[in-house]
Amino acid sequence: MYEYQAPLRDMRFVLHEMLDMPGHYARLPGYGELTADVMDAIIEEGRKFAVEVLAPINHSGDEEGCHFQDGAVRTPAGFADAYRQYVAGGWPSLIGDPAFGGQGLPVSLNVVVNEMMGACNWAWTMYPGLSNAGIECIGAHGTPAQKNTYMEHLITGKWTGTMCLTEAHCGSDVGLLRTKAVRQADGSYRITGSKIFISGGDHDFAENIVHMVLARVEGAPKGTKGISLFIVPKFIPDADGNPGVRNAAVVGSIEKKMGIKGSATCVLNFDNATGFIVGEENTGLAQMFTMMNFARVGTALQGLALAEPAYQSALAYAKDRLAMRSLTGPKNPDGEADPLIVHPDVRRMLLVQKAFTEGYRAFLYWMNQQGDIVKKGDAAAAKEADDLMALLTPIAKAFVTETGFECTNLALQCFGGHGYIKEWGVEQLVRDSRISMVYEGTTGIQALDLIGRKVLGSGGELLKKFTKQVHKACEAAKADPVLAPFAEALAAKNREWGELTMHLGGKAMENPDEVGAGSVDYLMFGGYVVLGHVWLWMARVAQQKLAAGEGDADFYRAKLATARFYFERLLPRTLVHAAGVRAGAAGVMDLPAGHFAF
């Protein structure tokens, strides 16, 4: 089993030195009391909960898995108790609306806590994580009565929530869904159908579960235009708001999965269940995206959360395990061999993990800082931040999870055969991280969202705003001889991103398949530019601190060394992705479907 140390020094670097969070909070209404000390105290409490409560039940939760008995889910030993401690500690309500019992803290602080909890036990964090779907959606689109009934219970964690979108025959293509809603005289609906892959669809954590269910009202238009969203509580709240009659929403079975085995993935059967519509009929798709955008940013975090403990484990092993002598002569002459970390290829694997993981942290914390501005900034700033989030969300979701899976695999590789056995816990991180590229929209879906809806859909505007920022940062860094090579490399790729966009945009008019054929390479190209942007940013901060003689010089020198590795060995991967974008559709589309195998 792995031992996780919260990377507090690196977190502080990003929060304070790169993003100046206390200054940022001071500029936003309602966050002014969040001084550095208060931030530190909350992070420290979150760390304790993660390490002391969640980590000890991570491996055992994977081994034991969930149980399905008598129509109900029993979670692995310790999971329900951990949830009670979580609620008692006030963690569910951190970012919740104070009008409904929330603490009103910024998402940019919550993400730090979530990173640590996720690193210690991703499967467990999925239960409370899904509650946010209901909170976001009812908060944005619910009636005052619905808010009164559900918001406080969800925010305080007394109840939990789910997202019920997928059916056996349709996932990404949600317009095909068949779950039916029939309007009743009292304004409620009867919901009938079957949903699959419902994370936290049942459990033994809380007294009620609020399912957010996509269904089609009788007579509604076909496709996505005829979808509505319903609140379907496990127990229908009575007049006092307490769990009342058991609703006809029952678990049919749970899935056996590759990983995240502590998280119950349920088939949920609705048989004339009572549902309450959110907003108007046939506006469910927009409401789904309210939930989904939140879920996608949360899934991006999985890439970071699992790569960090994987890296820590691999690093500890590489320092401890003796094998072979260094190619340049013994480094541990008194031992029978040198530690693995003397070997260049082991260092390469560690540095890939380090450069990605620290890059993800900077990227995602920065994105969450934009999330604060969307929520609390003035209209103009909120619009800018929202545009940036719109562009970066599919990149964060797909790029961080794809390369995050690479990181957990490289960590396993550093262990050799010991990585493949369960003892060290790293193979669990590989299995747990594999789902991240799939759920809440696969990498392919994110890529179409990026190039289609976000980039071409905005006539290139969203992208231009971002590449302009990158361009400015590169210009500013060019004068510094240490930063100049990074800035030049990044500036070239940033320009090329624009060129690739023009290229695909032009081709799209002739043949939309050109967009699809290059879409994932396009997204990955963009991901390396975005990570390059935050790496240049971090390098500039480190360089300034070194020049000023402030703080721990070794830390800043390590930052610069990792930045160098990023620009030398990871940014060049854009070469292949650019080739993929430019290769065109014919090579992908010309082979008839019947000729893929003979």
273 binds a second copy (CB under 8 A): no
Q: What string marks each residue from 226 to 265 as x (binds a second copy by CB under 8 A) or -?
A: -----------------------------xxxxx-----x
Tokens of 40: 């530190």
Q: Alpha-carbon distance 136 to 298, whole Å?
A: 13
Ranges within 104-133 binding a second copy (CB under 8 A): none
Least distance from C-beta 539 to a second copy, angstroms? 13
- Indicate the helix (H) or strand (E) that contains 393: helix 379-414
Chosen residue from 277, 447, 489, 504 binding a second copy by CB under 8 A = 447
Mask for 460-499, x = binds a second copy (CB under 8 A): ----------------------------------------
- Indicate whether 194 belongs to the interface with a second copy (CB under 8 A): no
| Cα 400 from Cα 523, distance rounded (Å) | 11
Comparison of 225 and 468: residue with beta carbon closer to a second copy: 225
152 close to 314: Cβ distance less than 8 angstroms: no
Choose which of 26, 36, 140, 322 interacts with a second copy (CB under 8 A). Answer: 322
**302: nearest Cα among 123, 58, 423:** 123
Site for a second copy contains 597 (CB under 8 A): yes
Distance CA 390, CA 114 (A): 21
412 binds a second copy (CB under 8 A): yes
Phi and psi, residue 189, nearest 5° = -130, 155
Tell which phi-psi region holds residue 9, choosing left (phi > 0), alpha (psi between -120 and 50) or beta: alpha
Distance CA 318, CA 589 (A): 45
Closer residue to a second copy (CB): 235 or 555: 555
Residue 440 known to be catalytic: yes
Among 155, 236, 435, 529, binds a second copy (CB under 8 A): 435
Provide the mask over 291-320, with x wherever binding to a second copy is found by CB under 8 A and - wherever it is not: ---------------------x--x---x-
Annotate each residue in 335-374 with x if it binds a second copy (CB under 8 A) or - if it does not, as one string.
-xx-x-xxxxxxxxxxx--x--------------------
**CB 572, min distance to a second copy, A:** 4
Q: How far is the CB of 316 from a second copy (least distance, A)?
A: 9
Of 78 and 516, nearer to a second copy (C-beta) is 516
| Shortest distance, position 421 Cβ to a second copy, whole Å | 5
Q: Which stretch binds a second copy (CB under 8 A): 47-55, 68-76, 127-135, 322-330?
A: 322-330
Nearer to a second copy, 322 or 476 (CB): 322
Which of 115, 152, 167, 440 is the catalytic position?
A: 440
# of chain residues touching a second copy (CB under 8 A): 103
Range in contact with a second copy (rule: CB under 8 A) among 133-141, 153-161, 437-445, 539-547: 437-445
558 touches a second copy (CB under 8 A): yes
Cα 251 from Cα 265, distance rounded (Å): 10
The residues in 44-103 that bind a second copy, with binding defined as CB under 8 A, are none
Q: If you compute the radius of gyration of the chain from its CA atoms, what whole number of angstroms results? A: 24
* Whole-number Cα distances in Å, 207 to 174, 592, 598: 30, 54, 55
d(CA 47, CA 35): 18
Confirm or reject binding of residue 557 to a second copy (CB under 8 A): yes
Name 229's bridge partners.
214, 278
Selected binder of a second copy within 239, 327, 379, 548 (CB under 8 A) = 327
Sole binder of a second copy in the list 248, 323, 382, 482 (CB under 8 A): 323
Question: Among candidates 327, 321, 351, which has minimal Cα distance to 339?
Answer: 321
Q: What angle in degrees, to the nearest 10, is found between the helix axes of 379-414 and 426-434?
A: 140
Cα–Cα distances (Å) from 506 to 499, 516, 574, 584, 585, in that order, read: 11, 13, 21, 12, 13
- Which DSSP string do the residues of 516-532 spell out, in sequence order? HHHHHHHHHHHHHHHHH
Could you tell me which residues come within 8 angstroms of residue 464 by beta carbon, excluding any fewer than 6 positions away? 498
Q: Is 27 in the site for a second copy (CB under 8 A)?
A: no
Q: Whose Cβ is closer to a second copy: residue 183's or residue 325's?
A: 325
Q: What angle do CA 294, 455, 452 make, to 5 degrees?
A: 80
Q: Which is nearer to a second copy, 239 or 598 (CB)?
A: 598
Our measurement of the distance from residue 580's CA atom to the centroid of its chain's CA atoms, rounded to an integer in Å, reads: 26
Among 103, 146, 166, 544, binds a second copy (CB under 8 A): 166
Half-sphere exposure of 112 (CA within 13 A, CB side): 30
Name which of 187 and 595 has its Cβ closer to a second copy. Answer: 595
Q: Which is nearer to a second copy, 152 or 402 (CB)?
A: 402
> By C-beta, is 74 or 257 nearer to a second copy?
257
Catalytic annotation, residues: 440
